[in-house]
């Protein structure tokens, strides 16, 4: 049984389940251990993985109780049994991360709000007709914005 985590691939933008291929670094919460040496602190581990859709390489950072991650790191638990710990290990980071898009304040608010959804739809190759309509709306907003700037500043000439 495989240990897998839901991710959005930063390479192909597909939502998928990335399987843990190898645990390659592990560190317990030293502060928690110092406070209470008998506690079972949360530990963090780095996991090698890949996207099954495009085979892009991923590095995942996961957390779980030290008593669960320690035997996995010591190779006392075969990789075929890692899936038994699925509920006890959670994904906390993914590298490379899913890209985020930010826009200059010079871009009108209406366009900034529409772009993230449009970019996601285009990346996932869905809603082509809707995307064309959104692009047309974005162009209209941009032209109105340029015309408004031109009427306020005579040095700027609007396109003909």
pLDDT tens sequence across 7-64: 988 888 788 899 888 888 878 777 777 787 777 888 888 999 999 988 899 999 999 8
Question: What is the span of the domain harbouring residue 146?
Answer: 109-152
Do 49 and 120 lie in a common domain? Answer: no
Q: How many domains does the chain have?
A: 2
Asked whether residue 160 is domain-assigned, the answer is: no
Spatial separation of the C-alpha atoms in residues 79 and 65, rounded to whole Å: 18
Spatial separation of the C-alpha atoms in residues 124 and 50, rounded to whole Å: 18
**Burial, 126: exposed, middle or buried (Cβ in 10 Å; 0-12, 13-18, 19+)?**
exposed
Query: The pTM is what?
Result: 0.58
């Amino acid at each position: 049984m495989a240990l897998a985590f839901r991710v959005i691939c930063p390479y192909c933008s597909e939502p998928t389940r990335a399987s843990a291929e190898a645990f390659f670094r592990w560190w317990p919460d030293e502060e928690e251990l110092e406070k209470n040496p008998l506690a079972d602190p949360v530990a963090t581990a780095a996991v090698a993985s890949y996207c099954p859709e495009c085979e892009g390489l991923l590095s995942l950072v996961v957390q779980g109780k030290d008593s669960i991650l320690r035997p996995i790191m010591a190779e006392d638990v075969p990789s075929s049994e890692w899936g038994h710990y699925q509920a006890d290990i959670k994904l906390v980071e993914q590298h490379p991360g899913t890209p985020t898009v930010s826009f200059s304040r010079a871009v009108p608010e209406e366009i900034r709000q529409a772009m993230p959804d449009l970019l996601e739809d285009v990346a996932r190759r869905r809603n082509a007709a809707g995307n064309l309509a959104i692009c047309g709306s974005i162009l209209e907003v941009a032209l109105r914005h340029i015309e408004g700037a031109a009427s306020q500043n005579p040095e700027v000439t609007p396109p003909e």
